[in-house]
Amino acid sequence: MEQKILEAVRLLKKSRFTTAFTGAGISVESGIPPFRGEGGLWNKYDPGVLDISNFHRDPAGSWRVIKEIFYDFFTEARPNRAHLVLARMEQEGMLGRTITQNIDNLHQEAGSQLVYDFHGNTKKLLCTHCRRMYKSSEISFDHVPPTCRECGGILKPDFVFFGEPIPQVPLAAAYEAAALSDVFLIIGTTGEVMPASQIPVMAKENGAAIIEVNPAPSNYTAGLTDIYLQGKATEIMGKVEDILFSATLNNDQDCID
């Protein structure tokens, strides 16, 4: 594994434009369960609660589950070392952008600036009637569904429900990243959900080298991934950080010579 991490660091050091593509797995060590696999949310809840037609038909019923999953759970979560390493890589000019499928805002809270929320974000809510936007911190979730102070309309979390389109800005940023990147760093995703799951495929078709961090193989591992770093996000990204920013390696030295 050490050799593979050195190979990955070599690619990252030489890269002109690296994109991080993250999924629920990067937040598991922050206390947020994944959607699939061991302890997955979809083992406990019906994904149908996040179907937009169900939300409009029964907002109170949807909101009861949404509150439990995304507002009771998420508010305690803090960025972990993997989020912080990506933020440091960005600050040091070694990460061009982060495309995340996650809606937990942990990349932003870790200090990453160039983050695109492909599935939106729980920290914002939108009035379904007058479109007024609220921060989640200014809303009480004691009574659901929460309503708009201006018009009384029902508020909806500003994340993408099943059956809704991906917002234009993150979609365009993801396609651009797939075209620009010479390294794609995939962390913690099964690669199950379209259209997000196609972004790494497009990057590979455009010549990007794929580095993948995941304790278990994903839909990418066998056929798309060039360097598979098997392990938990904090463990692997901690090792990557130690070598990538190691003072003993001078700038032009090829770190695996």
Q: Which residues bind to ligand APR, rule: CB under 6 A?
A: 23-26, 28-29, 34-37, 40, 101, 119, 188-190, 192-193, 213-216, 218, 232-233
Query: Angle, to 10 degrees, between the axis of helix 233-244 and the axis of helix 2-14?
Result: 60
Residues 6+ apart with CB under 8 A from 99: 19, 20, 21, 22, 116, 118, 170, 173, 174, 177, 199
Tokens representing 19 are 């994109």
Measured from the CB atom, is 151 or 216 closer to ligand APR?
216
Measured from the CB atom, is 122 or 189 closer to ligand APR?
189
Residue 252 CB, shortest distance to ligand APR, in Å, is 32
143 labelled catalytic: no
Quickly tell me which residue has 């130690």 as its tokens: 242
Measured from the CB atom, is 123 or 232 closer to ligand APR?
232
Q: Per the residue annotation, which of 56, 83, 119, 129 is the catalytic one? A: 119
Return the SS3 of 117. strand
Residue 205 CB, shortest distance to ligand APR, in Å, is 20
Residue 108 CB, shortest distance to ligand APR, in Å, is 16
Residue 147 CB, shortest distance to ligand APR, in Å, is 25
Residue 149 CB, shortest distance to ligand APR, in Å, is 29
The residue type found at 209 is A
Report the residue closest to ligand APR, judged by CB. 25
Cα–Cα distance for residue pair 50/66, rounded to 1 Å = 8
Q: What are phi and psi of 156, to 5 degrees?
A: -125, 135
**What's the number of CA atoms in the CB half-sphere (13 Å) around residue 92?**
13
Measured from the CB atom, is 11 or 28 closer to ligand APR?
28
Measured from the CB atom, is 173 or 213 closer to ligand APR?
213
**Contact call for residues 211 and 237 (beta carbons, < 8 A):** no
Short-list 102, 99, 105, 101, CA closest to 79: 105
Residues acting as catalytic residues: 119
